[in-house]
Each structure stands twice: as C-alpha cells, then as structure tokens.
C-alpha cells in the first residue's frame, strides 16, 4: 500500500499482521521518514524518548468509535449511516428499518383491532427531551398506571415508553418510511416494549421485544390543521442533552395521533438508530397526519451533540429482503398480505 505522509513520519496501514498480535484485524505502523546514520554505538537517549511508543497499534473497524463519538446522519461523516455497522453489527443485518411500503391489495386475513390503553388519559406530567438526535416526549402517569398498545399483530401488551420525531431539511422530505413511492414531510414514532420484559432496556434485544407505531406527516398550512405546538414544546430543550418537565400545559396521546381509525402496514424490522436491534414489530399508519411548515421549522431548531441544528434525522431506506408486510384495515379489521 502507498505510504501516506503525516508530518515527519510515514503512516503505513497493513491488512494483517501476524508478527505481534494475531487477534487484531490489522495494525497501524508508524515509520520515521528520515533515517539517520547507522552506528553500533548505543545512543544515550532511547528511541522511545525520540519517537514515543512505536509499537504497532491495533486497528479494528468495530473499535473506530471513541467513547465520545456517536452516530451521525451525515453520509460524509465517518459515523454516518453507511458506517453504522462499525458501531453495531446489527446495523448490517437482513431485517433493517426503515423500508419502502406499498398499500396494494392482497389476501385478507382476520386480526384483532389495535387498541391503546389510556389513549385519552391526561398524564401527571410530560418530559420533553433533546437526546442529540431527536426530540422526545415521555408521558408520566400517576401511580403504576401506564399507557399500552395491544391487538393487531401484537400478541402481548406493549408499554409505551416515549414518542419522538424524524424530519428533513425541507418540508417535503423527512419521513423514514416511504409509502407508495412517496417520502412524507416527517414521521412520529411511538416506541413501546413488551410488558413481559419489564422495561425498554430489558426488551430491546429480545425476540418481539419492541413495537413501534409510525405516523407519517404531510404539510398543511391551513389554520388549525396542526394540533401540536412544537414551538412551545421544544423551547426549553434546544441544547443537546437538555430535558424539561411540563406540569401545567398537558395533553393526552390522542392529541398526537388524533384517531385510531386508520389502516396500517406491519412488518418485522429493527430500530432505525444504532444498535439497530432487529426486535421490532412495525405498525405504520397509511393515514397521514398534518403538520405546518412553521412547526417543522421549530423541530429544526434543536441542536445535536456538536451544537449544530438538526436539519435532518432520518435513516436511508433499507432492503426489504423478501419480508412479509401485512395490511390491516381499520373498518373490517382484516389484514391483506403482500410480498
């Protein structure tokens, strides 16, 4: 391999070294660019005093990320979507999300209605959070009360953990899933975990551990079309890592999803951010919600871990790999299978 000049040294990357450490995938060698006169006299100063540690450095793509680094949505970034597999091997799996969805007709099979427990319950408080990648809301209910999803493709009850949003740089390109060849303006995800595992952390990497409800948004700038005041919601969480507990201006889950009368598509997939665990039952509504250009602009105000506004935060479309996708109709509660 051709040497790369870095200051006063050559940096040469070898594909494999069996001389020092057979467990490493490869090594980074540092060789001086200037070689002095050879002598049989030992110098008074050691070579390590001059050049520092010149032993081979183990180079492993899985360990590229330092503790302070995190994933990015920028494809020019070393930790962009195309390199998420370096951060977690699950991101290179065969059942990744999001995917392109198509609402064409097929065979109808009966399924139970999809239900959300405490859909209209006003929580004791709401926690707004900027996690450096998105804006999230957690509903805090009194006592042991929890909001949960059941029915449809879900055989157990799934506890709602949080809601977050994905958006893009413009008003017409921001959803993660593509529906019938169209990428929508934004997408909300209601993240839930299988109640038998007790917590989101425990369920995250377990079979059928998670279910995510996805709601697509389309632009509507007419008065009153958008019910969520994003400007108010994000005002106190502009900076990455910030959070805010709201005790006064409260609302229920219905305020976000509006109605349970919607058709949806369901498939087996993954989380759309690292670690990309393939443990998610996806439920994506085919009935878009409304959002205004002003509200989308408010979401773009929040900042990432580098202090820059998050202008887009959706993952590129992944391969379907012949997965089944079921279509559930809200009226008949039948499902239509297609491939």
CATH number of the domain at 203, please. Answer: 3.10.200.10
114 & 212 share domain: yes
What tokens does 34 get?
A: 């200037």
Split at pLDDT 50, 70, 90, the class of 143 is: confident
Would 8 be classed as within a structural domain? yes
CA 161, 159, 277 angle in degrees (round to 5)? 65
Residues 218 and 121 in one domain: yes
The tally of domains found in the chain comes to 2
Q: What are phi and psi of 122, to 5 degrees?
A: -80, 125
Same domain, 166 and 282: yes
What pLDDT score does 103 carry? 87
In 200-213, which positions are buried (b, 16+ CB within 10 angstroms) versus exposed (e)? beebbeeebbbbbb
Total length of the chain: 339
Check whether residue 12 and residue 147 sit in a common domain: no
Tell me: pLDDT of 175 over 60. Answer: yes
pLDDT band at 330 (very low <50, low <70, confident <90, very high): low
Q: Quick check: is 67 in a domain?
A: no
Q: Do 219 and 276 fall into the same domain?
A: yes
Positive or negative CA dihedral for 97, 101, 107, 109? positive
Count of Cβ atoms closer than 10 Å to residue 40 Cβ: 4
Do residues 327 and 251 share a domain?
yes
Q: Considering 27, 90, 118, 133, which one is annotated as catalytic?
A: 133
In a domain, 75, yes or no: no
Mean pLDDT value across residues 27-54? 44
Query: Residue 283 pLDDT > 90, yes or no?
Result: yes
Residues 315 and 251 in one domain: yes
From residue 169, alpha-carbon distances to 55, 174, 182, 185 in Å are 46, 7, 16, 10
Distance CA 89, CA 138 (A): 29
Which residues constitute the domain of residue 12?
4-59
- 176 with 238, same domain: the answer is yes
Which whole number is the average pLDDT over 265-278? Answer: 97
Examine the domain organization and report whether 198 and 310 are in the same domain: yes
- Whether residues 240 and 159 share a domain: the answer is yes
Kindly report which listed range (16-25, 207-216, 245-254) carries the lowest average pLDDT score. Answer: 16-25
* 177 is annotated as an active-site residue: no
Looking at the structure, tell me whether residues 221 and 262 fall in a common domain. yes
Domain presence at residue 66? no
The single residue listed with the structure tokens 């996690």 is 131
Is residue 73 situated within a structural domain?
no
Confidence of residue 65 (pLDDT cuts 50, 70, 90): very low
What is the distance between the alpha carbons of residues 247 and 139, in angstroms, rounded to a whole number? 11
Positive or negative CA dihedral for 200, 204, 210, 216? Answer: positive
In this predicted structure, what is the pLDDT of residue 228? 87
Pair type for strands 154-167 and 135-140 = antiparallel
Flag whether 39 is in a domain. Answer: yes
- Residue 53 in any domain: the answer is yes
Contact 321, 95 (CB under 8 A): yes
Considering the domain boundaries, does residue 99 fall inside one? Answer: yes
Specify whether the CB–CB gap between 268 and 250 falls below 8 A.
no
Residues 43, 170, single domain; the answer is no
Give mean pLDDT, residues 73-98: 97
SS3 state of residue 160: strand
**Does the model's pTM come out above 0.85?**
no
Q: How far is CA 127 from CA 175, 236, 249, 260, 294, in A?
A: 23, 11, 12, 24, 22
pLDDT of 58 reads 38
């Amino acid at each position: 391999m051709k040497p790369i000049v870095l200051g006063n040294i050559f940096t040469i990357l070898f594909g494999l070294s069996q001389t020092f450490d057979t467990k490493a995938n490869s090594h980074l060698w540092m060789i001086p660019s200037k070689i002095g006169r050879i002598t049989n006299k030992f110098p008074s100063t050691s070579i390590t005093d001059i050049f520092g540690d010149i032993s081979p450095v183990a180079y492993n793509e899985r360990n590229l990320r330092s503790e302070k680094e995190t994933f990015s949505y920028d494809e020019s970034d070393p930790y962009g979507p195309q390199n998420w597999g370096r951060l977690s091997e699950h991101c290179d799996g065969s059942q990744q999300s999001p995917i392109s969805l198509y609402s064409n007709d097929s065979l109808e099979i009966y399924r139970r209605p999809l239900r959300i427990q405490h859909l209209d319950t006003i929580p004791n408080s709401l926690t707004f959070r900027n996690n450096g990648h998105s804006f999230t809301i957690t509903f805090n209910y009194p006592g042991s009360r929890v909001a949960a999803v059941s029915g449809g493709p879900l055989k157990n009850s799934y506890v709602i953990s949080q809601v977050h949003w994905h958006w893009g740089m413009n008003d017409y390109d921001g959803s993660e899933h593509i529906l019938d060849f169209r990428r929508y303006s934004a997408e909300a995800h209601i993240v839930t975990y299988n109640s038998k595992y007790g917590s989101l952390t425990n369920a995250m990497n377990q079979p059928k551990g998670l279910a995510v409800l996805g709601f697509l948004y389309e632009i509507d700038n007419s008065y009153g079309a958008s019910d969520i005041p994003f400007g108010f919601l994000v005002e106190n969480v502009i900076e990455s890592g910030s959070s805010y507990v709201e005790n006064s201006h409260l609302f229920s889950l219905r305020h976000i999803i509006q109605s349970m009368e919607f058709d949806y598509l369901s498939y087996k997939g993954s989380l759309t951010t690292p670690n990309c665990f393939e443990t998610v039952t996806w439920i994506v509504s085919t009935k878009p919600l409304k959002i205004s250009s002003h509200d989308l602009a408010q979401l773009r105000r929040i900042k990432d871990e580098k202090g820059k506004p998050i202008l887009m935060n959706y993952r590129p479309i992944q391969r379907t790999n012949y997965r089944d996708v079921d279509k559930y109709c809200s009226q008949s509660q039948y499902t239509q299978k297609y491939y």
